[in-house]
Amino acid sequence: MKRFLPWIGLLVRLGLAGVFIVAGALKVTDLPASGRAVVAYELMPTNVAMTVGAIQPFFELMLGALLLIGLATRVTALISALTMVAFIAGITSAWARGLNIDCGCFSKGGHLPPGVTPNYLPEILRDIGFLAMAIFLMLYPVSRFSLDGWINKPEGDVRTDDEQA
């Protein structure tokens, strides 16, 4: 099992990287729309939400890029997990307050037209899946083909089994 963990780690790391890069790329082309998606949650003052929405795609792209190259995997995994917790909390609160919005997870979100019902439960379950992936990486940050692995390449005979931060 231990032999396979770095390979599983690679899959999880690349998967999570893909999630963030796709999510960021879909929103980065229209920042005001991304801002309106955050406004629609009615959790922040409008101008704050617009700014948060504009920053978020860049944040997601950077996080995705770091996961892709595998730099500081444990830290980026922790940030990913916190991000997912925030998303899950946001969607849950929108659901609890009966808001009729698109979560804006992989789109520009906003209010849904009348007659369209939101899909909060699948969105939450999906984010819980991503959260699980992030937690896995926090626990087992060693993965194949990572920059971390390259940086911490064992030198000479001082190899120990607790390498990697």
Q: Which residues bind another protein (CB under 8 A)?
A: 29-33, 35-37, 39-40, 46-47, 50-51, 54-59, 61-63, 65-66, 71-72, 74-76, 79, 101, 108-114, 147-148, 151-152, 155, 158, 160, 162-165
Integer angstrom CA distances of residue 47 from 14, 35, 100, 119, 157: 34, 9, 21, 27, 57
Question: Which ranges of the chain would DSSP assign to H, the alpha helix?
Answer: 5-28, 31-39, 46-69, 73-96, 120-139, 147-151
Nearer to another protein, 6 or 149 (CB): 149
Nearer to another protein, 4 or 73 (CB): 73
Q: Smallest gap, in angstroms, from Cβ of residue 84 to another protein?
A: 15
Using the CB atoms, write b or e for 67-84: b if 16+ within 10 Å.
bbbbebbbebbbbbbebb
Nearer to another protein, 92 or 164 (CB): 164
Q: Smallest gap, in angstroms, from Cβ of residue 111 to another protein?
A: 3
Q: Smallest gap, in angstroms, from Cβ of residue 117 to another protein?
A: 15
- The residue with tokens 């808001």 is 99
